[in-house]
Amino acid sequence: MDLSKYSRCLIGNYGAPPVAFDRGEGTRIWDTEGNEYLDFSSGIAVNCLGHSHPKWVSAVQKQASKLVHCTNLFAIPEQARLAERLTAKAGTGRMLFCNSGAEANEALIKLARLYGRSKAGGQEGKVVKIVATEGDFHGRTYGAMSATSGSKVRSGFAPLAPGFAFAKFNELASFQALLDEDTAAVLIEPIQGEGGIRETKDNVLRGIGQLCHERGILLMVDEVQSGMGRTGRFFSYEKAGIKPDAISLAKGLGGGFPIGAIWVKESHADLFQPGSHGTTFGGSPLACAAAHAVLDVIEEEELIEKVALQGASFKADLETLSAKYPDLVQEIRGRGYFLAMSMKVPCGDFVTALREGGLIVVPAGGDSVRMLPPLNATKGDISEALGIIAKTLSTFPTVPKQ
Ligand SMILES: *Cc1c(COP(=O)(O)O)cnc(C)c1O
């Protein structure tokens, strides 16, 4: 397609796109010129079953011909069943559905403020502080943006929502210093996605969990990118053995159909009372059918177990490969199918070179190449990707980082 049309009729907030895609199947995607690529971006962790998985397609088609949307003022059986399936994974509690990651985090932020009011004996505006983490990303809406420390996200939008403080990444003492009697909640990504696949250490997560528990502070975990099996566990926080009070989910949940959700522990599930929150589209029959298909395929194809095993060998192979290019590669991070290769050379140029070699990945954290294969990517797909990465490394110019 004529990409110049883009800048004529679309706002430039995503920058100028390099190619246009019009078809996908499994781990493959084709551009409008007919070139085939191996897609290890999954549309940023969204297409967790790859493109057009037959079971997903048939579930969505079937539901579309039955009932697409009613409203949350009526009962939606698929929504209750989806809530049951997700609470079976998260623990005793209840769900609320929405349409995106930012919206899920907005719901968590509002939950925290309601919780703060209940903690202050019903007085509003006293216990409001939400302690988030430097470098985390929670979305682009006002609350979620205010909960995000990065200047790239916040810049130009002052005044931001008040009541947020930022603890230093991976520093328990910094959380400890900020968690006071005015604090309602902590909001944290167990592994930063946009930040470049940076893991909070298990003992730091456990320490934060302990502090929250002792001080009656909500522990709210953002699993929008890291959830849905991506790290080789259903939720990434499971590795540290912590027990959150609330969780946000989105990206992979609908396998490409927009749906987000929050899970709230049973003891806090009544903070939202009738009329206190809502959304027109959230948890529609169609969105829920898409999410059911994702959960079905994850279970039937035992994808989480495969992601854990194959992700570990993918990471090991990336480490072996990158050791040959100490001038190009800084390090390999992450787990499961949630991996990053941080570069000593401009990462955007490297991402472009990989695409020209036939591999789609996305940058993260300014210096990292993020690899998010669909959860059903096979060993064969991974070795093909490794081949493209090896070839690209072997021909990439070594320019020192400024
Ligand atoms: C992508 C992302 C969000 C925002 O989700 P949107 O669907 O883009 O609003 C929030 N949190 C994390 C961790 C994310 O990766």
Is residue 137 part of the annotated active site? The answer reads yes
Measured in Å, residue 393 CA sits from the centre of ligand 1 at 30
In this structure, are strands 362-364 and 368-371 parallel, antiparallel, or unpaired?
antiparallel
Q: Pick the catalytic residue: 119, 251, 265, 315? A: 251
Does the Cβ of 249 fall within 6 Å of ligand 1? no
Q: Is the dihedral of CA 398, 313, 207, 184 positive or negative?
A: positive
Q: What is the pLDDT of residue 400?
A: 55
Does the Cβ of 105 fall within 6 Å of ligand 1? yes
Q: Which residue's structure tokens are 């898409």?
A: 290
**124 and 112 in contact (C-beta within 8 Å)?**
no
Does the Cβ of 194 fall within 6 Å of ligand 1? yes
Does the Cβ of 225 fall within 6 Å of ligand 1? yes
Q: Pick the catalytic residue: 39, 222, 245, 381? A: 222
Cβ partners under 8 Å of residue 310, min gap 6: 337, 377, 378, 379, 382
Is residue 251 part of the annotated active site? The answer reads yes
Q: In the chain, helix, strand, coil percent, each to 5?
A: 40, 20, 40
Closest CA to ligand 1's atom 8: 101
Residue type, 267: S
Does the Cβ of 119 fall within 6 Å of ligand 1? no
pTM of the shown model? 0.97
Residues of the chain with pLDDT under 70: 399-402
Closest CA to ligand 1's atom 5: 101
Query: Which domains can be identified in the chain, with CATH numbers?
Result: 4-53+302-395 (3.90.1150.10), 56-300 (3.40.640.10)
Cβ partners under 8 Å of residue 236, min gap 6: 190, 191, 223, 226, 227, 230, 338
d(Cα 198, Cα 189) in Å, to the nearest integer?
Answer: 9
d(Cα 158, Cα 278) in Å, to the nearest integer?
Answer: 26
pLDDT tens-digit series, residues 286-337:
999 999 999 999 999 999 999 999 999 999 999 999 999 999 999 999 999 9
Q: What is the pLDDT of residue 1?
A: 77
Please report the atom of ligand 1 found closest to the CA of residue 139.
Answer: 4
Does the Cβ of 338 fall within 6 Å of ligand 1? no
Does the Cβ of 102 fall within 6 Å of ligand 1? yes
- Indicate the top mutation candidate among 225, 230, 253 to test ligand 1's pocket, ranked by most ligand atoms within 8 A of CB: 225
Is residue 164 part of the annotated active site? The answer reads no
Measured in Å, residue 45 CA sits from the centre of ligand 1 at 10
Cβ partners under 8 Å of residue 301, min gap 6: 376
